[in-house]
Amino acid sequence: MQNFEWITPTKVIFGSGILERLGAETAQRGTRALFLYGKESIKKSGLYVRIADQLKNAGILFIEHGGVQPNPRIAHAEEGARKVRAHELDVIVAVGGGSVIDEAKAIAVAAANDAPLWDYYIRKASFRNALPIIAVQTLPATSSEMNAASVMTNGDTHEKFSIRGENLFPKVAFLDPSLTLDIPVQYTAYACTDILSHLMEGYFTATSDFPLQDGMVEGVCRAVIDSLEIILKNPRDIEARSTIMWAGALAWNGLLKAGVEGASIPNHMIEHPLSGFHDIAHGAGLSIVIPAWLKYKKPQISHRIQLFGERILGMGATLKGKATLEAADEIIAALESWYRHINTPVRLRDAGITSLDVDACTGQAMALSELWGVPGYTEKDVRAVYALMG
């Protein structure tokens, strides 16, 4: 196991009925808030009023900034930062999924530092300060409520890049599974694909077997898969929703890959250009990328693929006695079959992408490889993975 540092300063408040604590928790961090959210659905559901009442009753002035997109845009974050400065706001209350929380982090940086916001995402500038963030998670998928990363899209260039910093951890994360009961099944499937990808990336790229981390990843993966199967039959099952919400927070906050030698994120590196250029759901892009990447990398990672098939997909009896590469092919086919079962795409055409600018996507992926420190990929490798998505 490698040496590592791991930190999680976020206070997590989990359970049904916890929003009655939002006002008091926010008031400990500021008295003038930016209320950030996505679509108008939080007004239709009544959640907007609940949040607003909590802030008002705690004596917190707030300015709202709605309209965050699923692949959040830098321009919208810059607009939010201008509101923060104009009204001298000192805390951000982000209500939504990973996109909203990611944009909250972007605004937190833009409002507290002087360089153009995109410069931080392309590593042209570094930031020291950020406003405190209170996160109310409504669509678990990205772990943004419990990690220090923010992913944003530049609407002009279609680049989808990220920043990271310890001061971007939300101060408090409210995880109320009852807020997720009415998420459409399809969006839940995309979210689960995203959660699983965060677990699978480190699992497949690990250079050795790690009994502790492998066991944790396998257990969380099985729990997510089983819970999604329950939700396909009963979308309002609170226990299944609770499992997915907690798994979403744990999957990519660093704990499950701490000390894992070789762990990297090539699938995210290759997917970001897809959702950056074509504005598809991140989870949908990942269910296209992952099988293609597995097919390309199987000669090098067939052992880890076999463990995934045996321990997570439960294919031990089916795979018994089969050669490693043959077993890998069956496991990849089974994963594709499961993606189809939950109605997520496995080919570009399934997502409505009829033409892919491979040059532009490859260029962006290689830039991300350098920015994120994803080793071992040439343009030829990346192009080969894109070719397997057709």
Tell me the per-residue pLDDT of 34-79, one tens digit each, with 9 for 90 and over: 999 998 889 999 999 999 999 999 999 999 999 999 999 999 999 9
How far does CA 181 lie from the centroid of its chain? 19
Model confidence at 102, pLDDT cuts 50, 70, 90, reads very high
Q: For residue 274, which of 293, 249, 300 has the smallest C-alpha distance?
A: 293
Return the pLDDT at 1.
85
| Start-to-end C-alpha separation, the chain | 38
Average pLDDT, the chain: 97
CATH superfamily label, 183-387: Dehydroquinate synthase-like - alpha domain (1.20.1090.10)
Percent of all residues in the chain with a pLDDT value above 90, rounded to a whole number: 97
At residue 294, the pLDDT reads 98
**DSSP single-letter state for residue 375:** -
Residue 303's pLDDT band (cuts 50, 70, 90): very high
Domains of the chain: which residue ranges? 11-179, 183-387
| pLDDT exceeds 90 at position 161 | yes
What local confidence, expressed as pLDDT, does residue 19 receive? 97
Q: What pLDDT, on the 0 to 100 scale, is given for residue 94?
A: 98
Burial of 276 (0-12, 13-18, 19+ CB in 10 A): buried
Q: What is the mean pLDDT of residues 338-355?
A: 97
Given this model, what pLDDT does residue 158 score?
Answer: 95
Q: Does domain 11-179 have CATH number 3.40.50.1970?
A: yes
Place of tokens 């699923």: 70
Q: Which letter, b or e, does each residue of 45-65 get, where b requires 16 or more Cβ atoms within 10 Å of its Cβ?
A: eebbebbbebbeebebebeeb
Calpha distance 345→349 (Å, rounded): 8
Instruction: For residues 233-246, give the mean pLDDT.
Output: 98
> In 3D, which of 305, 278, 300, 277 has the Cα closest to residue 377?
300
Contact 94, 134 (CB under 8 A): yes
pLDDT at residue 2, as a whole number: 87
- In this prediction, residue 217 carries a pLDDT of 98
